[in-house]
């Protein structure tokens, strides 16, 4: 099939997105709108044409600096609702049927949005997206690892508020110098309350960070996890225990975690039998979309439509969607693929 055929196939393919941050998913239009509201108190440009240069990252530390600046644009409930709803609409436009959106409640608390109101707003936006566009959103409440006191408060918001869409508990932010083990008590309590463990690990640090996420945080999926390619024993463990990695190829290049797409370890990880999902992370910041990430993965792995559909199904299997929802989405993927192949 031609490249354009694959592009069209991917565009129409029903998909699940498991590693996408709500602030990092704001389109240039939304970011510019928020920047204009708060002009004079932010370094984020209000001109959409200037955002591309603003999102040109020198390294991962610079990415965190820029990301934090965008986070601080979300200062009131209206900002938050606009952001979440806009992200949901953009996902629906790519035929994403189900998404687990990573949100960081602690940052919004610092910005002046109380716990209960934060959860009320994101739930209202989630329900509106599902009602109007059919895309199901779920939440991962994420600890910003660089803020030492954030773990306890993030846990309290998760357990005390417990919004209907909350399915998992995560850990983000810089990895270097941030021990995974220090967050074990919070993950223990979250898991005891029925939340799934999905920490970031092994993006900008080595395999030891991934081992720590597994051994100390009970990780059921790993955010990124690309340095696992450096450790054959770890690859074997991930494969044996069916621990999926949430792979975001373009993100890894943009943050300088890997030198280029051609050098991305995705093929090594897949060859080792590790389950992988393809995701977009912070798509507008990295000039990508989930559809483009599937195209990148197809090129790296030399996939035809059947192989691409298998990647989409892998994301469904790795998701925390309920069994009936999984069955429905898997059937939709198969039906779409069979119809495409019969043309």
Q: How many CB atoms lie within 10 A of CB 339?
A: 10
Strands (E), the chain: 15-21, 96-103, 136-144, 166-172, 196-197, 200-201, 222-224, 245-247, 276-278
Q: What is the largest CA-CA distance in the chain?
A: 57
CA dist., res. 100 & res. 77, Å (int):
21
CA dist., res. 105 & res. 284, Å (int):
21
Residues 6+ apart with CB under 8 A from 340: 9, 12, 305
Catalytic member of 123, 203, 220, 246: 203
Residue-level length of the chain? 343
Shortest CA distance to 210 belongs to which of 186, 234, 232, 185? 234
Q: Please say whether the dihedral angle defined by the alpha carbons of residues 332, 333, 339 and 343, taken in this order, is positive or negative.
A: positive
CA dist., res. 227 & res. 215, Å (int):
16
CA dist., res. 325 & res. 213, Å (int):
28
CA dist., res. 251 & res. 288, Å (int):
9
Q: Is 8 a catalytic site residue?
A: no
Quick one: CA torsion of 6, 11, 14, 17, rounded to 10 degrees? 100
CA dist., res. 59 & res. 65, Å (int):
10
Reading the block at residue 45, the tokens are: 């440009």
Classify residue 34 by its DSSP letter: H
Cα 220 to chain center, whole Å?
A: 15
Catalytic residues: 203
């Amino acid at each position: 099939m031609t490249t354009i055929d694959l592009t069209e196939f991917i565009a129409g393919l029903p998909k699940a997105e498991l590693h996408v941050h709500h602030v990092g998913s704001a389109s240039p239009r939304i970011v510019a709108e928020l920047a204009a509201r708060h002009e004079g108190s932010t370094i984020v440009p209000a001109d959409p044409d200037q955002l591309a240069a603003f999102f040109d990252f020198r390294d991962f530390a610079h990415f965190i600096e820029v990301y934090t600046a965008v986070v601080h644009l979300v200062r009131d409930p209206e900002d938050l609702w606009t952001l979440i709803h806009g992200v949901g609409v953009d996902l629906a436009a790519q035929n994403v049927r189900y998404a687990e959106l990573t949100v960081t409640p602690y940052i919004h608390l610092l910005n002046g949005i109380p716990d209960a109101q934060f959860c009320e707003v994101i739930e209202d936006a989630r329900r509106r997206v599902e009602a109007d566009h059919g895309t199901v959103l779920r939440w991962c409440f994420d600890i910003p690892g660089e803020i030492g006191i954030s773990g306890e408060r993030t846990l309290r918001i998760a357990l005390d508020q417990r919004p209907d869409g909350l399915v998992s508990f995560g850990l983000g932010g810089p990895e270097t110098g941030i021990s995974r083990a220090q967050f074990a008590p919070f993950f223990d309590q979250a898991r005891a309350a029925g939340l799934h463990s999905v920490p970031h690990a092994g993006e900008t640090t080595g395999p030891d960070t991934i081992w720590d996420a597994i051994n100390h945080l009970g990780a059921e999926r790993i955010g990124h996890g690309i340095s696992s390619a450096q450790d054959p024993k770890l690859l074997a463990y991930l494969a044996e225990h069916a621990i999926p990695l949430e792979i975001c190829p373009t993100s890894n290049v943009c943050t300088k975690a890997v030198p280029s797409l051609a050098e991305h370890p995705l093929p090594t990880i897949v060859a080792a039998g590790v389950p992988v999902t393809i995701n977009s992370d912070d798509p507008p910041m990295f000039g990508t979309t989930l559809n483009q990430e599937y195209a990148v993965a197809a090129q790296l792995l030399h996939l035809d439509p059947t192989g691409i559909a298998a990647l989409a199904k892998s994301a469904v299997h790795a998701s925390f969607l309920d069994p009936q929802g999984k069955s429905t989405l898997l059937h939709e993927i198969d039906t779409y693929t069979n119809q495409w192949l019969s043309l």
